[in-house]
Amino acid sequence: MSQVFSDNILYYNPASMFSNVAVLLLCEKGIQDQFEFKPLQMGIDNIAPWYIKLNPKGQVPTLIHLGKPIPDSLAIARHLDACFGPTPVFSADDPNVLKVVEQWRQMRVLSLVAGKKTSTQDTTETEASLTQSRQQLLKSMEEEPTLKEKYLVRLDVHDDRADLLLNHSTYLKHKAGLDSLFCDTERTLKENDGCLVRNHSHTLADVYVTAILYWLMSKLDKDILKDKPALKDYYLKQTARPSFAKAFFN
Ligand SMILES: N[C@@H](CCC(=O)N[C@@H](CS)C(=O)NCC(=O)O)C(=O)O
């Protein structure tokens, strides 16, 4: 793909969890038709110079609104609240909402899905492919000296991904993190009458948690909520919203 000059675009990937968040954000605001949805071929488009210029981390999603690039799902949520308020308002600056959002954003699902699940798992192929993609980044950096700083940002993201994919201890840490996040959320929902944030019926926290649960159930384990009745009930209510169907089944 080459750069497309259009004012309103969502660069995303249908298999990406944070892209799910961005798509759901647009559908919650009811503005999805104002944006062109452009899927990126990961490993190719996301590290091409035109995209690194927009999003130095080389990640999806990136929203282009009126020609201005907004990388990162949280920045997108804040931008949408500022430009397309007030209903529904995501309350992206409310500290209680942000606390929940950050807990869920910190989960590193790449490790859970594609990480080193046992200490003896053979990672030779992954290592070879990571070495190749790192070399490609260094080559691009040499060919595009004006983008050097931006490619250095991507290089850090690349090395972090390598840790998520190759280290068994990293996998164990994130697996324990997921288990504890699910237990905490189950308790919170029971204490707050089914709300993630006390006295807030629908906020940015709900968008993240719904999009992330949907992704986890499609990619990791469809029965992931089986021992979590409050979370399961919560998820069923969230996915009954018209915005959810618009986002993922249209
Ligand atoms: N903090 C970013 C995280 C985005 C992110 O991690 N995107 C992943 C997909 S879910 C990605 O693009 N990974 C591809 C890569 O780094 O090569 C956000 O919230 O948008």
Task: Measure Cα distances from 72 to 10, 19, 133, 182, 227 in Å.
Answer: 11, 9, 22, 24, 32
Query: According to the model, what pLDDT value does residue 250 have?
Result: 75
What proportion of the chain, given as a percentage, has pLDDT over 70? 98
| Domain spans, the chain | 9-84
pLDDT on residue 72:
96
Confidence check: pLDDT of 30 > 60 = yes
Atom of ligand 1 nearest to the CA of 16: 10
Per-residue pLDDT for 15 more than 80? yes
What pLDDT, on the 0 to 100 scale, is given for residue 1? Answer: 57
Spatial CB neighbours of 157, under 8 Å, sequence gap ≥ 6: 57, 58, 59
User: Phi, psi at residue 236, to the nearest 5°?
Assistant: -60, -40
What CA–CA distance (Å, rounded) separates 205 from 123? 35
Q: What is the pTM of this model?
A: 0.95
Compute the distance between CA of residue 125 and CA of residue 230 in angstroms, rounded to an integer: 40
Alpha helix ranges (H) inside the chain: 17-29, 49-54, 73-84, 95-105, 109-114, 124-143, 148-166, 168-191, 204-219, 229-239, 242-249
- Return the higher-pLDDT residue of 83 and 85: 83
Pick the CATH number of 9-84 from 3.40.30.10, 3.40.50.300, 3.40.50.10860, 3.30.590.10: 3.40.30.10
Name residues contacting ligand 1 (CB within 6 A).
16-18, 42, 46, 58-61, 72-74, 157, 161
Distance CA 241, CA 30 (A): 12
Pocket test residue of 18, 107, 130, 216 for ligand 1, highest count of atoms within 8 A of CB: 18
Q: For 241, which DSSP code? A: S
User: What is the mean pLDDT of the segment spanning 107-126?
Assistant: 96
